[in-house]
Structure 1
Amino acid sequence: MKAITIILSLIFITLVSCDKDANDPNEVVLTRAEIPADIKTYLSTHFASISVNKAVKETENGVVSYEIYLNGNIELEFDSNFNVTDIAAKTQLPNAVIPPAILSYVEKNYPSQFITKWELELAHQQIELNNGVELEFTMNGDFLRVDTD
């Protein structure tokens, strides 16, 4: 009987410890009404027909960011000024969310591929194509290199 109690206790502790997000005081799940207006505008402009599954406001080291999860496995991240910093999907991202110079480069050099991820880094932009190739660009959209990390 003690063995069963110990096993059940260990299972319970494991399940509770794995549920980090539910108890993370730095993350707050937002209602649709609580999503900042600038983020709502971005979503309605570029993802009008796709509904929000979940919106999270995260505070880490005093810095606020927002994570938006849309139907169709689309995830977006916004900084504290409501600027998009990361967009990832299983399908093609809308052309309008990709900087024109980057889109033009991909259309010219990878005509049979499409962009599934765009990320704004500190000193560059990075995209991922549907074949898994990652490309890095300057902040102005000039090609830097194929990311091999």
Structure 2
Amino acid sequence: MKKIFASLFLLFLLSALLFSDDIYISPEQLPQNALSFIQKYFPNVSILYAEMDKKKYEVQLSNGVEIEFFRNGDFKEIDGNYVAIPFEILPEPVANTVRRTYPNTVITKIEKKWNIYEVKLNNMMELYIDANGQLLGQKFDD
């Protein structure tokens, strides 16, 4: 009887692993360019955990920042959770547009969608900027 329960339990665990969306991984299993990105823009910050699914990697840093990477290791989204995100992450034309539009703010979230950057600031404004630095729109996000 114990063998049946042990077999059923093992079968349950294996099926849960096969059908789960997210799998926790060690930080060393992240693509090299994702690790380089974290080391470059968030030096002296450790990775609390990393997880992977079929389409992306998600990383939680010790300072509260959450980063989502595409499977190739390029960043898709960074949520600072009210921690300032470095302007240097953005292409220079995009960063210059943010600085010109709201000079005394910090970036709290960046999302890359195709050729457009959605940038959220600490004044609750969201800016939509193309890769050439053209401001496409903005809205107050409360």
Residue from 48, 58, 62 that aligns with 1:67? 58
> 1:111/1:135 Cα in 2 relative to 1: closer, same or farther (>3 Å)?
same
Q: Residues 84-103 of structure 1: matches in 2 within 5 Å?
A: 84-89=75-80, 90-103=82-95
The answer for unaligned runs of 5 or more in structure 2 is 1-16
> 1:128/1:24 Cα in 2 relative to 1: closer, same or farther (>3 Å)?
farther
CA contact (8 A) 1:52 1:68 kept: yes
Would you identify which runs of 4 or more consecutive aligned residues in structure 1 move more than 6 Å? none
Give identity over the alignment, percent.
24
1:47 aligns with 2:52: no
SS in 1 for 2:24: strand
Displacement of 1:23? 9.6
Comparing 128-137 with 109-118, greater Cα deviation is found at: 109-118
The equivalent residue for 2:134 is: 142
Q: Distance in 2 between matches of 1:23 and 1:129?
A: 39
The answer for unaligned runs of 5 or more in structure 1 is 1-21
Q: CA deviation digits over 1:80-118, x for unaligned, max 9?
A: 211111111012111221221121112222111111111
> 1:139/1:106 Cα in 2 relative to 1: closer, same or farther (>3 Å)?
closer
Displacement of 1:49? 1.1
